[in-house]
Structure 1
């Protein structure tokens, strides 16, 4: 069974791609509905990397445990007319809780430049599930994905930043960095 989403968000594809790799941004997508806590002493990575296997505890409203999930990250690039598509994939599996009855969990999120809309991103989201309870869980997951879509649209403008401008500011301050432009205010100086 599948759940598909396709919409345009208010940030550039690079910002959306960075957000897909950020456990913090992913956590914000589900909040406050669903919390995501690491089950390893090292905590969540700063950024998901291909090959990462990270077990997490999911909780409803940050209080009620609903199961554990293994997040397995991978990514790929597809060349399409009008620009490339970057795809982030979580092919982990629910370990405990109601979702553990699923034996297929394949979540792919794709970002690409929105056709004819500079600075905006076409977001595509696909969840494929399978198993003995997939038909029963599909309506709950469908509703959760609608919530996710609304959160993605709301949060996307906050993902944008201009790293080039920040780098130019540091370079303009000179080799000693920003402190070099601060006047000497020591007594007698």
Structure 2
């Protein structure tokens, strides 16, 4: 199942790209619904490095929601707009293909979160966010929870982007 966001952000693409790779921004757009703590020995760094990062999650900062791996990979590509005579658009993408390590996060069996940024003609940023996940029979129920959380993130991302 999928959860999608498509937003135009009031910031430059380079600033949005830096924000997407920031654990601090990840924590800001998740809070207070979900509060994440790094379980890596060195803690959260300034920028996500490629690879796996172990975190603990608490709902509203109080209720343990389990531990998970955030598995980061970045990609850059050129997208061609069909039917237009414009240059290809540079798209930068952060992929998270992590997994839950403890209950209830282990209910989700497949997780692929993509966040992409590209330039708009007016200098602002096109931000696309897609979560694909599978939790078996619980997928529709979790979709509601993830959809609500993604709406929360959208509000926070729009608000924060003005200062990136």
TM-score by length of 1: 0.79
Larger strand fraction of residues:
2
SS where residue 43 of structure 2 aligns? Answer: coil
Aligned residue number for residue 56 of structure 1: 55
Which residue does the alignment assign to 2:36? 36
- Where has structure 1 moved over 3 Å in runs of 4 or more? none
Q: 2:114 — aligned with what?
A: 108
User: Which residues of 2 match residues 62-77 of structure 1 at below 5 A?
Assistant: 62-77=61-76
Alignment of 1:95-134 (within 5 A): 95-114=101-120, 116-118=121-123, 120-132=124-136, 133-134=138-139
**CA positional deviation for 1:63:** 1.7
**More deviation in 132-141 or 94-103?**
94-103
The answer to whether the 8 Å contact 2:135/2:142 transfers is no
SS in 2 for 1:154: helix
Larger displacement relative to structure 2 (142-151 or 130-139): 130-139
**Equivalent position to 2:159, from 128, 133, 154:** 154
Q: As a proportion of its length, which structure holds more helix?
A: 1
Matched-pair contact (CA < 8 Å) for 2:69–2:101: yes
CA distance in 2, matches of 1:39, 1:49: 15
Q: Which has the larger radius of gyration?
A: 1
For the residue of structure 1 that corresponds to 2:41, the secondary structure is coil
How far off its partner does 1:98 sit?
A: 2.2
Mapped partners of 1:11, 1:97: distance in 2: 37
3-state secondary structure, aligned to 2:162: helix
More displaced, 132-141 or 20-29?
132-141
- Report the secondary structure of 2:143's partner residue: helix
Aligned-pair distance for 1:46?
A: 1.9
Normalising to structure 2: TM-score of the pair?
Answer: 0.90
Which structure exhibits the higher relative contact order, with contacts defined as CA atoms closer than 8 Å and separated by 6 or more residues? 2
